[in-house]
Amino acid sequence: MAGSADHVATGLWVGPEGSFARSAYGINYPYLFPNGKDISDKIPSTAWPNSPFVTLNGSPYPSHSAGPIEQFSDNITHVQGQHTLKFGYYFEKSGENDDDQIVIGSTPGGTNNQAGQFSFSDSTPGGTGLAFANAAVGKFATYAEVGARSFTPYRNHDNEIWGQDSWKVTSKLRLDIGLRWSLTSPYSSLWGNIAYFDPSVYNPASAVSINPATGNLSGTPTLQQIYNGMVIPGMGWPGAAGNRPAAEVAGIYNFLFTGGKNTYTQEHYADFSPRVGLAYAFTSKSVFRGGFGRFYDHTGVSDGLFPGGNSPIQQQASVANGNVDNPGGTSATLFPLYILSYAKYNPTPYSLQWNGTYQREVGFGTVVSVGYVGHRGVNLPYEQNINQLPVGTCPQGACPGGVSPNSLVPFKGYSTILQNTNLGGSMYHSAQFQVTHRFSKGLGFNAAYTYGKSDDNGTSYQTFQPNAYDNSFMWGPSTFDRREVWQITSVYALPFFRDGNRFLKSTIGGWTVSGIYVYQSGTPFAIGTTTDYAGVNSTGVTQYWVQNAPIVYSDQYSQGSNAATDSNYYFQPKTSSGAAVFSPPANGTFNTQRVRDIYYGPGSWNFNSAIYKDFRLKEKVKFQLRWEQYDTLNHPNWNGPNTSPTSSAFGKITGKSGNRDMQIAGRITF
């Protein structure tokens, strides 16, 4: 039985000189949400779209989160003949007490600053025509503010039962066979203050009316219309809530409760994990080991999608076209909601892992091994906008009739609905070679080489799928993929003056040198821009360009300040005939070529070394003097190439890294 809790707190020092104190600058506008501020005397944030002026950032802090974990396990072992049987049970109750989950994109000009954020625009009605001048006269385009932080005590539990038989079949063969059953509950909130978007309960007949020119809600919609499709899991507010969530205090959102369990996503009862392993000794000096297993993931609270930060759980508001002296003096605008959610029927992520290794001792204290390792990821999480426009609706932002894209989305009343979906996959294969010489006669070393490849359709759980309706073209090398990796380590005790003259032995004798050499081939990259050629109303999402000809690597380094004019390319952006190797996809389409991360940057290598000696001061007291060098050979490694096809430095490498660092250290052991 065990328990633990990690606490993460990020403070903000306002300071007597007023570095973050708004009163020090004469800022005193009234808040939209005057109660529940962590720091009431705090500067706001500002935004100047397409402006060279520095923005003001009041930051999202202070904030705090804690992760309590309670564990219980019990194991039983029984030996019968050549069988060693083991059975066990494991229980874990874990969670996160989180008040750092503000949904930044929840409103236009959305902010994570409780003191608010002003956005200024050149096109503000009644303004000066310049964003900076509008700020000078106090005319903002949008103002967003967050109320009291939504504190959500997330909880879930994990139950596992397992059994294993370790069977010594013969003196040369051993088999291990096991089975594990896992039941992981979806996360819930002790206070019931989490909200999701459920497409199955969205009613198009009750959809809000959207102003086609602005994309904002029009008329006087009811709460049922505004939150059409939103649900709060459970029968109602639990007693533990204690009138602490703002949504409970308001008393007007109870219609969102589902009337069932207090969890939203599906629970899975058939998560069985078989495991098998074997070891066979051909001789006393050679052995083969292999294994296969399925391993289910214990999914935690995502640090990117917080249902406790969604409206109406988290208080938030935005105002358009007002005066900075009194943002609340302008009627609040009903903007479409920005929601973070999860797919209701998400399967549990798991991996299939298999390996086989042959190992042989070849004499002189040296062991050689050759192996293969495979890994397949199944039901891996990624993110998609389920409120995406159909492909071709608004190419490069040009919607039919000039209307707002918010008036054309499938779920009216919402802008983006960012959903976590467990439908990703990955595959890894590698051949691995290793030679190990145990330290003897003053020398020890280990050399390892891996040749492998990792592919997936979303390396991170926060990988965003550019097309929510089709991700087939996303399959490609993982962002961390490196085809080749060499690692060599060595330790050599210098033989000089280890014996003989006592003075020479104690001063220049007995030194040891060590080194680590690492070579890694380059990581992959893609060619694209964030221009919305497909017309799906995406912002900041890379859309891949079409490859028209094979890419040719020149492996040259550009000369820094002359990057725009020199002819030193890492890869050639044009063919020998002058045609562009890459071109943007046609308007209204995605490039469906599998070109995600299929190109590779330059490799890198590094050598670190050290020389050290132990001086015995007393029988039980030892002093070690070390001289360590990092990047001993002062070897530079190239940065990645410029992958923006609209840049004058496209295809060029203009930066490098790597400098020798040295340090002398002393350590006393007693």
The torsion angles phi and psi of 25, rounded to 5 degrees, stand at -110, 10
What are 398-441's pLDDT values in tens digits? 999 999 999 999 999 999 999 999 999 999 999 999 999 999 88
Q: Where does 247-365 show beta strands of DSSP type E?
A: 271-283, 286-296, 316-323, 337-342, 350-363
Token output for 317: 């508001």
What are 151-192's pLDDT values in tens digits? 899 999 999 999 999 999 999 999 999 999 999 999 999 999
Residue 75 binned pLDDT confidence (cut-offs 50, 70, 90): very high
pLDDT of residue 252: 95
The per-residue b/e assignment along 542-554, b for 16 or more CB within 10 angstroms, e otherwise, is bbbbbbeeebeee
Largest Cα separation within the chain, whole Å, is 98
Neighbours of 585 (CB within 10 A): 19
Say if residue 18's pLDDT is above 60: no
d(CA 293, CA 274): 6
pLDDT of residue 303: 66
Say if residue 107's pLDDT is above 80: no
The torsion angles phi and psi of 402, rounded to 5 degrees, stand at 75, 20
Name residue 430's amino acid: S
Among candidate residues 349, 536, 348, 538, the one with its CA nearest the CA of residue 460: 349
Token output for 599: 């190109």
Residue 616 binned pLDDT confidence (cut-offs 50, 70, 90): confident
d(CA 550, CA 579): 12
Say if residue 272's pLDDT is above 70: yes
Q: Is 667 within 8 Å of 624 (Cβ atoms)?
A: yes
d(CA 570, CA 580): 15
CA torsion 459-461-466-468 (nearest 10°) is: 130
d(CA 611, CA 606): 17
**Residue bearing the bigger pLDDT, 665 or 450:** 450
Residue 477 binned pLDDT confidence (cut-offs 50, 70, 90): very high
pLDDT of residue 566: 81
Give the pLDDT mean for 593-607.
95
First to last CA, the chain: 35
Full DSSP string of 522-586: PPEE--EES--TT-S--SS--EEPEE-S---B------GGGTTT----SB-SB-TTS-BSEEPPP
d(CA 438, CA 661): 30
Q: Is 290 within 8 Å of 358 (Cβ atoms)?
A: no
Q: Which are the contacts of 502, defined by CB distance < 8 A and separation ≥ 6?
A: none
pLDDT of residue 316: 84
Residue 248 binned pLDDT confidence (cut-offs 50, 70, 90): very high
Token output for 19: 């570095």
Q: Where does 99-194 show beta strands of DSSP type E?
A: 117-119, 139-146, 152-168, 173-184, 188-189
Residue 564 binned pLDDT confidence (cut-offs 50, 70, 90): low
Name residue 175's amino acid: L
pLDDT of residue 17: 55
Full DSSP string of 139-154: EEEEEEEE-S---EEE
Query: How many Cα atoms are found within 13 Å in the side-chain-facing hemisphere of 455?
Result: 12
Q: Is 225 within 8 Å of 170 (Cβ atoms)?
A: no
Name residue 451's amino acid: Y
Give the pairing of strands 63-80 and 83-98: antiparallel
Token output for 645: 């096809």
Looking at every residue in the chain, the average pLDDT score rounds to 90
What are 273-307's pLDDT values in tens digits? 999 999 999 999 999 999 999 999 987 776 678 89
**Residue bearing the bigger pLDDT, 99 or 137:** 137
Handedness of CA 165, 169, 172, 173 (dihedral sign): negative
pLDDT of residue 369: 97
d(CA 367, CA 436): 5
For residue 18, CA distances in Å to 11, 21, 26, 600 come to: 15, 4, 11, 49
Residue with token string 């497909």 = 534
d(CA 332, CA 220): 12
Residue 13 binned pLDDT confidence (cut-offs 50, 70, 90): confident
